[in-house]
Amino acid sequence: MKKRYITLILAFVMVAALALAGCGTKTPAGGDAGSAAAPPAASGGSEQAGAPGELVATGSQSDLAKDKIVIGGVRSSTGTNAIFEQTAFGPQYKMWVDQLNKDGGIYVKSLDRKVPVELKIYDDGSEISKTTQLYEQLLADEKVDIIIAPVSTAALFAVAPIAQKYGYYMVAAEGGAKELEKYIAQNPNVFSVLGYSETQVPAFVKFAEEQGIESVFCAYIDDLHGTEYWGAAKPALEAIGVEIKGEQSVPLVGGFDANAVINAAKASGADAFLAFTYPDQGIPIALSAIALNYNPKLYLMGPGGSYDFIGGVLWGASGIDPAVGMEGVFGWGGWNEKSSARAAEYSQAFREYWIDKGDFWLNADGTPNADGTVYQDWWGHASYYSVCEIYQQAIENAGALTDEGLIDNALLVEYTKDNSFDTVLNQELRFTNNILLDDMYLGNIGQWQNGTFEVMDVDDRRTADPIYPKPEWPTK
Amino acid sequence: MTLFLTVLINGCILGSVYALVALGLNTQYGVAHILNIAHGEFIILSAFITMTLYAGAGLHPLVALAVAGPIVFAISFVLHRTLYKRVKDMSANIGEFEGNAILVAFGIYFIVQNLMRDKWGSATSGYQFMAFPVRIGPADIAANNLFVLLWAVVICVVYYLFLMRTRTGKAIRAAAQDAGAAALLGVKINTIMALCFAIGGLLAAFAGVLISMKEPFTTVSGMNYTTIAFIVVVLGGLGNVKGAILGGFILGIVGYAVSTYDTGMMFAVFYLIVLVLLIVRPKGLLGR
């Protein structure tokens, strides 16, 4: 019997480790980052690539021989982060590369011609140790031309020093955190596009002040994201006189009881309920709110609240139109086809491209969209596609080859620091200390109104009047 | 009083699911000596089958008990008669078999999870079923949760009676106590082992059907339930049916009570309970 208990303990440890592996992918990974690479070289880019200008070898053998540009990346096609590769940046870069190649490839300035693009993407299984190992392989051994960023904030922490060490340029898509600002300062080859607490929390606080919200209850995910958002929101709300009627952390691993969160929030009687959580927590919490008929005056879902498909998941099989079910619910981010002509153009192009390939968005029953609907993320998608545009414009305007015949990443870094970009997000998008300031975004908070995610920022980006208080959850 | 009632009722709801999840694993390990790491994957597979039947074909979720149950039962039975039996035949002793079986289970875990991801994607899935509150005393309880509690209790009771009252149940209990002696007394031990593994799968399927009615899930959330099953099994006692049921309800009530103050602390308290138990009473509450 003793042996059986030893087996049981060993198995339990293995299971716990496996269950917690998912946590590690979404939390800051200082240890991982530290072990992933040696301290970044002060000028990693120029060390490998040489000084800008010296490397433009027009007409050289390497220029003539350059027949493709290899874009490498390590993404999470499997594991807990697969949802992001499947629905966030994944559809953007795949569409971008496909469109580039249909048009003959990407124009490289020094070559004065287009070069076809090849994707070399590895799957890390949502394990950061694999992410770093595979980036080392891509950069040190396989020597791809440029790299795209990994999936999560934690992976960005781990990969940034590797990109810096090998002198690679990297524009991050998913992931963003206040902590990342300091980290980016140490790894200046890395740029970050996605908005986060720094711009979104102040936008919500302004909104709360405008609408006279008197009290809030917050459920926040117990990782970097949740603690950062709530850590920023709590003092800011208190400063404008909003009473904090309750707060609860929510575990990253599933299996928690969302009813407990909603019962506590309901008992608090707060005006606003804030769920600073990922979809994996936000969806069960919202389903509990519906089942327990919890109707605060304001309901905010964190990441995921801006996804078109959220309505389908929450209301798809209920017989109630998801647009009616989601009426009045808030989420982070915020843009729509009314935000700008450029945004509308991109949104339509995205839908048209994916309309026949909609298998990355599924209906609530798991089947591909029968109605041809291509779902958008009204927070991230504009930012993610802008990342593709930034890469493209940097190469078009500053692209040149190194002695090794690879794209000179140092030139791309320099160009990105010094120039603006014409993107979906902003037609004069410019980085400040390698991140974007508030005025670069189309919006920071949004609200579902009649099936459209309307921008609710208290300024001229707002696309509709707010609905406050939120209407009751509909019933059949 | 309101808080006490809310904790008690919601804790029992949570506990009933935990008990059901643990019963399957307990049967598979207690008799067949297979610590099935892939247990949660079959729970999730059944949840997806239920959602597909409900959202896709408009069938009542309970219909899935008659669909997902036999499917997972058959898969589990075949897995035992092919993979696990072969591994057992090649193992020198039961200890070696248990170690090897865990490795096989890990392989099945990855295969099932990836097949589900290919079929249903990675997004969080779920559906609304009986999504309205019911007033019990001072507490509002979600109707779907009460429905799940009712069915989980029914399944636990039926399974307990099956073990206690039927000839097959007695053979299973005999095999659990001493497989060698049971074989000498005429119990077809290989069939019973396979049957137990399959019954474990059947209970996982039933748990998956019920879980899908009350909470959303993803293709990678199976391990959460496997972890909970392990904790309950340790708490209740290896191979003890009553222990698994009691452990499930205790853990559910403790879990909900902790969640009332901070949901994020729930798993920390669960792990603490396991640590203390393994040191103080490794047999579990009702362990043999």
- Indicate the domain borders of chain A: 27-195+380-439, 197-332+443-455
**Which residues of chain A are within 8 Å of residue B233 when distances are taken between CB atoms?**
8
CB-based contact (8 Å) between B125 and chain A?
yes
- Model confidence over A116-126: pLDDT tens digits? 999 999 999 88
Alpha-carbon gap: B156 to the closest alpha carbon of chain A (Å): 20
**Does this complex have an ipTM over 0.85?**
no
Mutate to test the interface with A, among B2, B5, B52, B128 (most CBs of A within 10 A): B128
- Predicted local confidence at residue B288, as pLDDT: 64
**Which residues of chain B are within 8 Å of residue A19 when distances are taken between CB atoms?**
223-224, 226-227
Alpha-carbon gap: A45 to the closest alpha carbon of chain B (Å): 36
Among B121, B133, B264, whose Cβ lies nearest the Cβ of A86? B121
- Predicted local confidence at residue B57, as pLDDT: 84
Q: Residue A116 contacts by C-beta under 8 Å, 6 or more apart in sequence?
A: A67, A68, A69, A101, A104, A105
Q: Would the CB atoms of B267 and A253 count as touching at under 8 Å?
A: yes
Q: Would the CB atoms of B127 and A316 count as touching at under 8 Å?
A: yes
Among A8, A263, A290, whose Cβ lies nearest the Cβ of B6? A263
Query: What does each C-alpha distance from B273 to B247, B268, B279 come to in angstroms?
Result: 11, 9, 10
- Predicted local confidence at residue A138, as pLDDT: 96
Sign, Cα dihedral of A281, A287, A293, A298: positive
- Predicted local confidence at residue A134, as pLDDT: 96
Alpha-carbon gap: B126 to the closest alpha carbon of chain A (Å): 6
- Predicted local confidence at residue B263, as pLDDT: 85
Query: What length is written for chain A?
Result: 476
Identity of the residue numbered B108 = I
**Which residues of chain A are within 8 Å of residue B227 when distances are taken between CB atoms?**
15-16, 19, 253, 255
Q: Would the CB atoms of A83 and B218 count as touching at under 8 Å?
A: yes
- Model confidence over B98-139: pLDDT tens digits? 999 999 999 999 999 989 988 887 778 888 999 999 998 888
B94 neighbors B33 (Cβ within 8 angstroms): yes
- Predicted local confidence at residue B184, as pLDDT: 87
Fold of A27-195+380-439: Rossmann fold (3.40.50)
CB-based contact (8 Å) between B131 and chain A?
yes
- Model confidence over A254-310: pLDDT tens digits? 678 899 999 999 999 999 999 999 888 899 999 999 999 999 999 999 888 998 888
CB-based contact (8 Å) between B144 and chain A?
yes
Among B117, B215, B259, whose Cβ lies nearest the Cβ of A260? B259
| Residue B172 scores a pLDDT above 80 | yes
Q: A368 pLDDT band (50/70/90 cuts)?
A: very low
- Predicted local confidence at residue A79, as pLDDT: 77
CB-based contact (8 Å) between B10 and chain A?
yes
Contact map slice: B 194-253 vs A, CB within 8 A: 215-218, 220-221, 223-228, 230, 233-234, 238
**Which residues of chain B are within 8 Å of residue A78 when distances are taken between CB atoms?**
114, 117
Which H or E run includes A191?
Answer: strand A190-192
Q: Would the CB atoms of B102 and A255 count as touching at under 8 Å?
A: no
Which residue is associated with the tokens 């042996």?
A3
| Residue A19 scores a pLDDT above 80 | no
Query: Are A27-195+380-439 and A197-332+443-455 the same fold in CATH?
Result: yes
- Predicted local confidence at residue B141, as pLDDT: 92
- The Cα A220–Cα A247 span in angstroms is 8
Q: Would the CB atoms of A259 and B224 count as touching at under 8 Å?
A: no
- The Cα A388–Cα B52 span in angstroms is 36
| Residue A370 scores a pLDDT above 60 | no
B227 neighbors A15 (Cβ within 8 angstroms): yes
Q: Would the CB atoms of A362 and B119 count as touching at under 8 Å?
A: no
- Model confidence over B232-281: pLDDT tens digits? 999 988 878 889 999 999 999 999 999 988 888 888 999 999 899 889 88
- The Cα A311–Cα A320 span in angstroms is 10
- Predicted local confidence at residue A61, as pLDDT: 61
The SS3 assignment for A310 reads helix
Mutate to test the interface with B, among A174, A252, A259 (most CBs of B within 10 A): A259
Report the b/e string of B199-230 with b at 16+ CB within 10 A.
bbbbbbbbbbbbbbbbbbbbbbbbbbbbbbbb
Which residue is associated with the tokens 């309920």?
A273
- The Cα A49–Cα A107 span in angstroms is 20
- Predicted local confidence at residue A361, as pLDDT: 52
| Residue A52 scores a pLDDT above 70 | no
Q: Which of A46-50, A87-91, A191-195, B232-236 has the lowest mean pLDDT?
A: A46-50
- Mean pLDDT over B205-232 rounds to 93
Give the number of beta-carbon pairs within 8 Å between A and B. Answer: 205
Angle, in degrees to the nearest 10, between helices B2-30 and B143-165: 40
- Predicted local confidence at residue A4, as pLDDT: 59
- Predicted local confidence at residue A59, as pLDDT: 52
Instruction: Supply B24's token pair.
Output: 């399957």
Q: Would the CB atoms of A313 and B123 count as touching at under 8 Å?
A: yes
Query: What does each C-alpha distance from A339 to A349, A435, A443, B44, B204 come to in angstroms?
Result: 16, 21, 9, 40, 48
Among B48, B122, B142, whose Cβ lies nearest the Cβ of A288? B142
Q: What is the DSSP letter of A26?
A: T
Q: Would the CB atoms of B95 and A363 count as touching at under 8 Å?
A: no
A279 neighbors A286 (Cβ within 8 angstroms): no
Yes or no: domain A197-332+443-455 corresponds to CATH 3.30.9.10? no
Give the strand pairing for A190-192 and A117-123: unpaired
Mean of the per-residue pLDDT values for chain B? 91
Q: For chain B, give the DSSP string.
A: -HHHHHHHHHHHHHHHHHHHHHHHHHHHHHTT----TTHHHHHHHHHHHHHIIIIIH---TTHHHHHHHHHHHHHHHHHIIIIIHHHHHH-SSHHHHHHHHHHHHHHHHHHHHHHHHHHH-SS-B---SS-SEEEETTEEEEHHHHHHHHHHHHHHHHHHHHHHHSHHHHHHHHHHH-HHHHHHTT--HHHHHHHHHHHHHHHHHHHHHHHHHHS-B-TT-HHHHHHHHHHHHHHH-TT-HHHHHHHHHHHHHHHHHHHHH-GGGHHHHHHHHHHHHHHH-TT-TT--
- Predicted local confidence at residue A305, as pLDDT: 92
Alpha-carbon gap: B132 to the closest alpha carbon of chain A (Å): 4
pLDDT above 70: percentage of residues in chain A: 82
- The Cα A216–Cα A272 span in angstroms is 5
Among B10, B220, B234, whose Cβ lies nearest the Cβ of A260? B10
- The Cα A465–Cα A458 span in angstroms is 10
Q: Would the CB atoms of B123 and A318 count as touching at under 8 Å?
A: no
- Model confidence over A133-191: pLDDT tens digits? 999 999 999 999 999 999 988 888 899 999 999 999 999 998 777 877 888 888 999 99
Comparing alpha-carbon positions, the chain A residue that sits nearest to B56 is A365
Contact map slice: B 151-190 vs A, CB within 8 A: none
Nearest to B7 by CA among B250, B268, B279, B276: B250
Mean of the per-residue pLDDT values for chain A? 84
Among A15, A87, A364, whose Cβ lies nearest the Cβ of B37? A15
Q: Would the CB atoms of A284 and B216 count as touching at under 8 Å?
A: yes
